[in-house]
Amino acid sequence: MEEQITKTLIESQYPIWMIVSLFIGIQLIIVFFAELIKKKIEKKTISGFTRKIKSVETQFMKEIEILKSVLNVQSQAQTLFIQQRNEAIVDFWSKYMNWNETFMGSWRNNADNNHIINELIQKEKDNDLAVTLAYHKLILYIDDNSYIENLHMLLSKMSEIIFKQRMLLFEIQDINLNNPNDNVTRSRKLTSFATECTKLQGNEIKELTDKFIKESKEYLSDINIKSQIKPEA
């Protein structure tokens, strides 16, 4: 187009100075409009890029907020899990100690009283159930096979002793009903049972108990909760 305009001006009959002036003017107009179009294109392009950047930035911030929310939920869930696990450990230990206290307790001094023996048998059954429930609740929060195995062995050993005690109580009750004055047989059975339990307990139950206490305290994160897990007297 520019070549056509130049050719037209040269072939015209206007004075040379006018032709040059017109030529320069036309060139300036062409340059002006070219720059104007260029700026509009650049402005439109920059505006498009800006909108895209803002859109990406907005989306990014939204994803950041979603991530923060997810992390917050995960953190709260983890905190709740640890809290419930700690409570399960303390609850089991409390139930276990209550169960353990029914073993060879003060009832020995009242072995001739079937009423007290009946109460003890019922108490032992209730504690046995409580320990079993506490155990199954606790292992839901523990994925350490060694910890669970040690706990299972501890309960198995104690169950064996508690079962033998229950059998003894039934025998003592029978003596109380049929031979209430047979103190010799009653005393002999109590002494024999005490000796047998000492053999059954030995160091094994103590070692299992100590191991449970040590590993439990490693799980517990709160010093106040740790203080509730104490060795047996």
The CA distance from 224 to 142, in Å, is 21
Please give the share of the chain, as a percent, with pLDDT higher than 90.
2
56 has a pLDDT exceeding 70: no
The CA distance from 233 to 228, in Å, is 14
Share of the chain residues as helix, strand and coil, in percent rounded to the nearest 5 = 85, 0, 15
Report yes or no: 205 and 157 within 8 Å, Cβ to Cβ: yes
pLDDT digits (tens, 9 = 90+) for 70-105: 767 777 777 888 888 888 898 998 888 888 776 655
Over the range 101-117, which residues count as b (16 or more CB within 10 Å of their CB) and which as e? ebbbeebeeebeebeeb
- Give the predicted TM-score (pTM) of the model: 0.61
pLDDT confidence of residue 134 = 92
State the amino acid at position 199 in one-letter form: K
pLDDT confidence of residue 233 = 45
- Give the best-scoring range by mean pLDDT among 5-9, 35-39, 157-161: 157-161
* Rg of the chain taking only CA atoms, in angstroms: 46
**Banded model confidence at residue 46, pLDDT cuts 50, 70, 90:** low
- Lowest-confidence region among 17-21, 176-180, 213-217, 226-230: 226-230
Cα→Cα distances 226→50, 75, 100, 175, 216, Å: 58, 22, 20, 45, 8
**Residues, the chain:** 233
pLDDT confidence of residue 171 = 86
pLDDT digits (tens, 9 = 90+) for 19-29: 556 556 666 66
Report yes or no: 87 and 219 within 8 Å, Cβ to Cβ: no
Q: Give the mean pLDDT of the chain.
A: 74
Q: What number of CA atoms fall less than 13 Å from residue 210's CA on the CB side?
A: 5
The CA distance from 195 to 199, in Å, is 7
pLDDT digits (tens, 9 = 90+) for 133-181: 999 999 888 888 888 888 888 888 888 888 888 888 888 888 888 888 8
**How many other C-beta atoms can be found within 10 angstroms of the C-beta atom of residue 204?**
12
pLDDT confidence of residue 68 = 72
